[in-house]
Structure 1
Amino acid sequence: MAATPENPIVFYDLINANGVHWSPNTYKTRLCLEYKGLPYRVEYSTLPEVESNMKKLGVPPVKATSPQYTLPVIADPSGDPDGKPHYVGDSFNIAVYLDEKYPAPRYPAIFNSNARSIEHLFIHQYLPTVARVGSMVVMPKLGQTLDQESIEYIKRTRGVSFNSLPQGEAEEKWKAFREKFFEMGLSLDYQDENGPFISGNRPSMIDFAIGGWFHLLQRIAPSGLEQILDWKEGRWRLLWEHIRDIEGRSSRGIMG
């Protein structure tokens, strides 16, 4: 049974101290749902609430390592009126599930044909090396938007520091981040067709992953995002504009 406006997919997302969603990982799933035009509603948690909330629902751990319970998670409704929903965690696994459960041509495909393994490699191996450099500069700004319990949770489970870097070191890290981004942008020069996305005219999970980091920067370091969007002659701005267009698509009216 497909999700309907009366019985939508439930999307579990994270919020900051201001009640605003911010996570780059959950944003990927938000984009997947919007792009495929699937009805959904949102249930929000702060970081420290995730494990207890998921355990109450009977959701199995997403990872074998700590923290085992992470978001995003979706609950796809059962075809049986008395049946339990099907829970899926991890943004990449969710995208795979959605393409299989809600296939093309009725629903747009998230993954390019025969490119799923390449997209997984890029998202899980290459993109983190780019994001890691930039995060050293922007993490202190994330701390300014989270509640204290969430800050302590991140410190405890991920060993992350929210201390600001000295000015000179921060400038060097940002320069290194720009160089990493430049290298990543070279891939745009090898498109087989013109278009705003990495692969041309249609988005893929890679675009959603890059959009996730743009989304985080918009929340915590908008001036930094503006710098990035002007790199590569504004090419990244074009991508972001089209990502934002996807975010506002069909199912917005039934989000909770």
Structure 2
Amino acid sequence: MTRILYSLCGRDDTRPFSPHCWKVSLALAHKGLDYIEKPVPFTQIPTLENGFSKTVPILRDGNLLIRDSFDIALYLEETYPDGPTLFGGEGGKALSRFVESVSNTLIHPALVKVAIKDIHDLLGETDQIYFRHSREARLGRNLEDVHADRDAEISAIASRFEAIRQTLKHQPFIGGEGPLFADYILFGALQWVRVTTRLTLLPADDPVSDWFERCLDLYGGKGRAVA
């Protein structure tokens, strides 16, 4: 049985960059499950699997299709209980929901402003038109104006990680002594910026930087495979 993970790319399909797809990539590796990754550009997503989803990730596991990174993680946990746990029980699921909320409301909005012009520039022409129209409508500003404020956003980003930083002073991973899906949620956000901008957002001696380096090394350096 071949598992297929549909993920997101620009002109270069060797550089998948979606934060949500990276969560699933590490979740599959965590469970020790083989899969084929098929990155596609934004405008091809509606054609996948007979229009199954408007967004990626999409996981095909045999005859089943699952969308949404958290739902995929829950599916993997239930379907493959013999592999290492992604949550460590109901408490870990609650932790992951909390980390996802922190990421979506506090961290992602800042990272969007840092990376948005770089993402546009990675895309093919058709996707650039789609991306510019949809993101400028969402933000109420053109991409160049958002990009012009990037340095100010970067200088303020460290403060957005303070709660995570304090946690990581006591343990190597958000999940404790080893990574859980909660770690992959935040890893996906930082990997998104790493792949699209190649910027270093946090000082090397920041506990969050140390944690991110540990995550990049997981599963044979899976995160580092995209430089």
> TM-score, structure 1 length as denominator?
0.75
Describe the SS at the equivalent of 1:163: helix
- In structure 2, what residue type is equivalent to 1:12? Y
| Separation in structure 2 between the aligned mates of residue 47 and residue 38 of structure 1, nearest angstrom | 26
- In structure 1, what residue type is equivalent to 2:161? F
Structure 1 alignment gaps of length 5 or more: 1-6, 62-68, 78-84, 251-256
- Is residue 147 of structure 1 aligned with residue 124 of structure 2? yes
Distance 1:151 1:102, change over 3 A: same
- Is residue 97 of structure 1 aligned with residue 75 of structure 2? yes
- In structure 1, what residue type is equivalent to 2:182? I
Describe the SS at the equivalent of 1:144: helix
Structure having the larger proportion of residues in helix: 2
- Is residue 221 of structure 1 aligned with residue 197 of structure 2? yes
Query: Any conservation in 1 of the 2:9–2:17 contact (CA below 8 Å)?
Result: yes
CA RMSD in angstroms comes to 2.3
Query: Any conservation in 2 of the 1:50–1:70 contact (CA below 8 Å)?
Result: yes
Deviations 1:7-42 (A, max 9, x none): 221111111112221111101110011111101112
Partner of 1:131: 108
Q: Which has the larger radius of gyration?
A: 1
% identity of equivalent residues: 20
Question: How many Å apart are 1:91 and its aligned residue?
Answer: 0.4
Distance 1:166 1:139, change over 3 A: closer
- Is residue 14 of structure 1 aligned with residue 8 of structure 2? yes
Q: Which runs of 4+ in 1 moved over 6 A?
A: none
Describe the SS at the equivalent of 1:248: helix
**Aligned residue pairs, count:** 215
- Is residue 87 of structure 1 aligned with residue 65 of structure 2? yes
Question: How many Å apart are 1:247 and its aligned residue?
Answer: 4.6
| Separation in structure 2 between the aligned mates of residue 229 and residue 40 of structure 1, nearest angstrom | 34
> TM-score, structure 2 length as denominator?
0.84
Structure 2 alignment gaps of length 5 or more: 223-227
| Separation in structure 2 between the aligned mates of residue 40 and residue 166 of structure 1, nearest angstrom | 36
- In structure 2, what residue type is equivalent to 1:88? I
Q: Superposed, which structure 2 residues align to 1:63-74 within 5 Å?
A: 69-74=54-59
Distance 1:99 1:201, change over 3 A: same
1:178 pairs with one of 158, 165, 170 = 158
- In structure 2, what residue type is equivalent to 1:162? L
Distance 1:117 1:14, change over 3 A: same
Distance 1:229 1:32, change over 3 A: farther
| Separation in structure 2 between the aligned mates of residue 21 and residue 98 of structure 1, nearest angstrom | 21
| Separation in structure 1 between the aligned mates of residue 174 and residue 191 of structure 2, nearest angstrom | 17
